[in-house]
Structure 1
Protein backbone atom coordinates (compact mmCIF):
# COMPACT_ATOMS: atom_id res chain seq x y z
CA UNK A 1 0.00 0.00 0.00
CA UNK A 2 1.57 3.28 -1.12
CA UNK A 3 1.40 6.24 1.22
CA UNK A 4 2.66 9.58 0.01
CA UNK A 5 5.55 10.71 2.17
CA UNK A 6 4.67 8.52 5.15
CA UNK A 7 7.21 8.85 7.95
CA UNK A 8 7.62 6.73 11.03
CA UNK A 9 9.73 8.25 13.80
CA UNK A 10 11.13 5.88 16.37
CA UNK A 11 14.10 4.08 17.82
CA UNK A 12 15.16 0.85 16.10
CA UNK A 13 15.54 -1.17 19.31
CA UNK A 14 12.19 -0.08 20.83
CA UNK A 15 9.84 -3.08 21.07
CA UNK A 16 6.74 -1.03 20.23
CA UNK A 17 8.42 0.51 17.20
CA UNK A 18 9.56 -2.95 16.07
CA UNK A 19 5.98 -4.29 16.34
CA UNK A 20 4.66 -1.28 14.40
CA UNK A 21 7.24 -1.70 11.64
CA UNK A 22 6.50 -5.44 11.39
CA UNK A 23 2.79 -4.60 11.12
CA UNK A 24 3.39 -2.05 8.33
CA UNK A 25 5.85 -4.24 6.46
CA UNK A 26 3.43 -7.18 6.66
CA UNK A 27 0.81 -5.06 4.93
CA UNK A 28 3.17 -3.79 2.27
CA UNK A 29 2.98 -0.20 3.50
CA UNK A 30 5.76 1.98 2.12
CA UNK A 31 7.21 4.44 4.62
CA UNK A 32 10.40 6.23 5.57
CA UNK A 33 11.80 5.26 8.97
CA UNK A 34 13.40 8.16 10.85
CA UNK A 35 15.65 7.20 13.75
CA UNK A 36 15.00 9.73 16.50
CA UNK A 37 18.55 9.32 17.77
CA UNK A 38 20.16 9.50 14.34
CA UNK A 39 20.63 12.28 11.85
CA UNK A 40 18.67 14.43 11.29
CA UNK A 41 16.50 13.28 14.22
CA UNK A 42 13.35 15.33 14.68
CA UNK A 43 12.86 19.07 14.73
CA UNK A 44 10.64 21.33 16.83
CA UNK A 45 8.34 22.07 13.88
CA UNK A 46 7.56 18.37 13.40
CA UNK A 47 6.92 17.92 17.11
CA UNK A 48 4.65 20.99 17.06
CA UNK A 49 2.63 19.46 14.19
CA UNK A 50 2.17 16.29 16.23
CA UNK A 51 1.24 18.31 19.31
CA UNK A 52 -1.49 20.15 17.37
CA UNK A 53 -3.22 16.79 16.82
CA UNK A 54 -2.17 14.74 19.85
CA UNK A 55 -1.73 17.37 22.54
CA UNK A 56 0.18 16.32 25.64
CA UNK A 57 -0.28 12.67 24.57
CA UNK A 58 2.60 13.38 22.17
CA UNK A 59 4.87 12.62 25.12
CA UNK A 60 5.53 9.45 27.11
CA UNK A 61 5.28 10.88 30.60
CA UNK A 62 6.04 7.47 32.16
CA UNK A 63 9.47 7.15 30.54
CA UNK A 64 12.78 7.58 32.33
CA UNK A 65 13.63 10.24 29.73
CA UNK A 66 10.59 12.26 30.79
CA UNK A 67 11.55 11.96 34.45
CA UNK A 68 15.04 13.21 33.60
CA UNK A 69 13.59 16.58 32.48
CA UNK A 70 13.15 19.32 35.02
CA UNK A 71 9.63 20.43 35.88
CA UNK A 72 9.87 23.62 33.77
CA UNK A 73 10.76 21.55 30.68
CA UNK A 74 7.95 19.08 31.37
CA UNK A 75 5.43 21.89 31.80
CA UNK A 76 6.59 23.65 28.62
CA UNK A 77 6.15 20.41 26.66
CA UNK A 78 2.75 19.55 28.15
CA UNK A 79 1.50 23.06 27.42
CA UNK A 80 2.99 23.12 23.91
CA UNK A 81 5.04 26.26 24.57
CA UNK A 82 8.58 25.02 23.91
CA UNK A 83 9.61 21.76 22.25
CA UNK A 84 13.38 22.19 22.59
CA UNK A 85 13.58 19.59 25.39
CA UNK A 86 11.95 17.01 23.09
CA UNK A 87 14.36 17.88 20.28
CA UNK A 88 17.30 17.41 22.67
CA UNK A 89 15.78 14.29 24.29
CA UNK A 90 13.55 12.73 21.60
CA UNK A 91 12.98 9.61 23.69
CA UNK A 92 10.34 11.62 25.58
CA UNK A 93 8.09 11.21 22.52
CA UNK A 94 5.54 8.41 22.59
CA UNK A 95 6.71 6.02 19.89
CA UNK A 96 6.31 5.40 17.10
CA UNK A 97 5.25 8.81 15.91
CA UNK A 98 3.62 8.37 12.50
CA UNK A 99 2.82 10.95 9.85
CA UNK A 100 0.67 9.21 7.21
CA UNK A 101 -0.98 11.46 4.64
CA UNK A 102 -3.36 13.58 6.74
CA UNK A 103 -3.10 11.36 9.85
CA UNK A 104 -0.77 11.77 12.81
CA UNK A 105 -0.62 8.85 15.22
CA UNK A 106 1.60 7.72 18.03
CA UNK A 107 1.99 4.50 19.90
CA UNK A 108 0.94 1.26 18.25
CA UNK A 109 -2.54 -0.20 18.38
CA UNK A 110 -3.47 -2.63 15.61
CA UNK A 111 -7.21 -2.00 16.09
CA UNK A 112 -6.70 1.73 15.48
CA UNK A 113 -4.28 1.14 12.61
CA UNK A 114 -6.28 -1.55 10.75
CA UNK A 115 -8.73 0.85 9.03
CA UNK A 116 -5.84 3.08 7.95
CA UNK A 117 -3.30 0.52 6.79
CA UNK A 118 -5.29 -2.43 5.48
CA UNK A 119 -5.95 -2.52 1.76
CA UNK A 120 -9.63 -2.41 0.87
Structure 2
Protein backbone atom coordinates (compact mmCIF):
# COMPACT_ATOMS: atom_id res chain seq x y z
CA UNK A 1 0.00 0.00 0.00
CA UNK A 2 1.44 3.35 -1.07
CA UNK A 3 0.47 6.19 1.26
CA UNK A 4 1.51 9.82 0.72
CA UNK A 5 0.46 12.72 2.92
CA UNK A 6 0.69 16.19 1.37
CA UNK A 7 0.99 19.29 3.52
CA UNK A 8 3.20 21.47 5.66
CA UNK A 9 4.79 20.15 8.84
CA UNK A 10 3.77 22.94 11.23
CA UNK A 11 0.03 22.52 10.51
CA UNK A 12 -1.87 21.24 13.56
CA UNK A 13 -4.15 19.04 11.44
CA UNK A 14 -1.12 17.51 9.72
CA UNK A 15 0.40 16.78 13.14
CA UNK A 16 -2.81 15.01 14.24
CA UNK A 17 -3.00 13.00 11.01
CA UNK A 18 0.67 11.98 11.24
CA UNK A 19 0.21 10.97 14.88
CA UNK A 20 -2.81 8.83 13.93
CA UNK A 21 -0.90 7.09 11.12
CA UNK A 22 2.09 6.52 13.41
CA UNK A 23 -0.11 5.07 16.16
CA UNK A 24 -1.65 2.67 13.64
CA UNK A 25 1.83 1.67 12.37
CA UNK A 26 0.96 2.79 8.84
CA UNK A 27 3.97 3.60 6.70
CA UNK A 28 3.64 6.80 4.69
CA UNK A 29 5.69 9.35 2.84
CA UNK A 30 5.28 13.01 3.76
CA UNK A 31 5.32 15.47 0.84
CA UNK A 32 6.33 18.79 2.40
CA UNK A 33 5.13 21.74 0.32
CA UNK A 34 7.84 23.88 1.93
CA UNK A 35 10.67 21.59 0.75
CA UNK A 36 9.30 19.95 -2.38
CA UNK A 37 7.87 21.78 -5.38
CA UNK A 38 4.16 22.17 -5.85
CA UNK A 39 3.88 21.62 -9.59
CA UNK A 40 1.08 22.05 -12.08
CA UNK A 41 1.00 18.25 -12.46
CA UNK A 42 0.55 17.78 -8.71
CA UNK A 43 -2.27 20.33 -8.45
CA UNK A 44 -3.93 19.01 -11.62
CA UNK A 45 -3.85 15.55 -10.05
CA UNK A 46 -5.60 16.92 -6.97
CA UNK A 47 -8.22 18.61 -9.14
CA UNK A 48 -8.86 15.39 -11.11
CA UNK A 49 -10.16 13.68 -7.96
CA UNK A 50 -11.17 16.55 -5.69
CA UNK A 51 -13.31 19.60 -6.40
CA UNK A 52 -10.97 22.59 -6.77
CA UNK A 53 -13.22 24.62 -4.43
CA UNK A 54 -12.53 22.09 -1.67
CA UNK A 55 -8.77 22.06 -2.30
CA UNK A 56 -8.46 25.84 -1.87
CA UNK A 57 -8.21 26.70 1.83
CA UNK A 58 -10.20 29.90 2.25
CA UNK A 59 -9.87 29.92 6.03
CA UNK A 60 -6.11 30.39 6.18
CA UNK A 61 -4.04 33.52 6.55
CA UNK A 62 -2.62 33.28 3.03
CA UNK A 63 -6.07 33.42 1.44
CA UNK A 64 -7.24 36.22 3.71
CA UNK A 65 -4.21 38.30 2.72
CA UNK A 66 -5.06 38.13 -1.00
CA UNK A 67 -6.43 41.30 -2.54
CA UNK A 68 -10.20 41.42 -3.06
CA UNK A 69 -9.92 41.25 -6.86
CA UNK A 70 -7.97 37.97 -6.68
CA UNK A 71 -10.51 36.47 -4.28
CA UNK A 72 -13.47 37.57 -6.42
CA UNK A 73 -11.92 36.26 -9.63
CA UNK A 74 -10.88 32.90 -8.23
CA UNK A 75 -12.14 30.21 -10.60
CA UNK A 76 -11.28 26.74 -11.84
CA UNK A 77 -9.10 28.14 -14.61
CA UNK A 78 -6.81 30.15 -12.31
CA UNK A 79 -6.98 28.26 -9.00
CA UNK A 80 -4.10 25.90 -9.85
CA UNK A 81 -1.74 28.79 -10.62
CA UNK A 82 -2.64 30.44 -7.31
CA UNK A 83 -2.00 27.20 -5.36
CA UNK A 84 1.33 26.63 -7.09
CA UNK A 85 2.53 30.08 -6.07
CA UNK A 86 0.91 29.84 -2.59
CA UNK A 87 1.12 26.20 -1.42
CA UNK A 88 -0.09 27.17 2.05
CA UNK A 89 -3.50 27.73 0.44
CA UNK A 90 -3.90 24.00 -0.28
CA UNK A 91 -6.27 22.51 2.26
CA UNK A 92 -4.54 19.98 4.48
CA UNK A 93 -3.91 17.18 4.61
CA UNK A 94 -4.43 15.55 1.27
CA UNK A 95 -3.83 11.84 1.69
CA UNK A 96 -3.14 9.52 -1.23
CA UNK A 97 -3.76 5.84 -0.60
CA UNK A 98 -2.78 3.84 -3.67
CA UNK A 99 -3.55 6.90 -5.80
CA UNK A 100 -6.99 7.60 -4.29
CA UNK A 101 -7.14 11.04 -2.66
CA UNK A 102 -8.85 12.01 0.58
CA UNK A 103 -9.06 15.58 1.84
CA UNK A 104 -8.83 16.51 5.50
CA UNK A 105 -8.36 14.45 8.64
CA UNK A 106 -10.96 12.77 10.77
CA UNK A 107 -9.99 9.68 12.77
CA UNK A 108 -13.16 7.82 11.68
CA UNK A 109 -12.46 8.55 8.01
CA UNK A 110 -8.87 7.33 8.29
CA UNK A 111 -10.04 4.21 10.15
CA UNK A 112 -12.34 3.39 7.21
CA UNK A 113 -9.54 3.98 4.71
CA UNK A 114 -7.21 1.59 6.50
CA UNK A 115 -9.59 -1.17 7.56
CA UNK A 116 -7.61 -4.38 7.70
TM-score (norm 1): 0.82
| Whole-angstrom distance in 2 between the partners of 1:36 and 1:50 | 14
| Whole-angstrom distance in 2 between the partners of 1:75 and 1:47 | 21
Partner of 2:20, secondary structure, is helix
| Whole-angstrom distance in 2 between the partners of 1:80 and 1:100 | 25
Aligned length: 114
Distance 1:71 1:98, change over 3 A: farther
Which stretch shifts more, 94-103 or 68-77? 68-77
Runs of 4+ that moved beyond 3 A: 70-77
Deviation at 1:80, TM superposition (A): 2.2
Deviation at 1:53, TM superposition (A): 2.1
Deviation at 1:68, TM superposition (A): 2.2
Root-mean-square deviation (Å): 1.8
TM-score (norm 2): 0.85
| Whole-angstrom distance in 1 between the partners of 2:50 and 2:96 | 12
Distance 1:80 1:50, change over 3 A: same
For the Cα contact (< 8 Å) 1:73–1:85, is it kept in 2? no
For the Cα contact (< 8 Å) 1:48–1:80, is it kept in 2? no
30, 33, 36: which one pairs with 2:30? 33
Unaligned runs of 5+ in 2: none
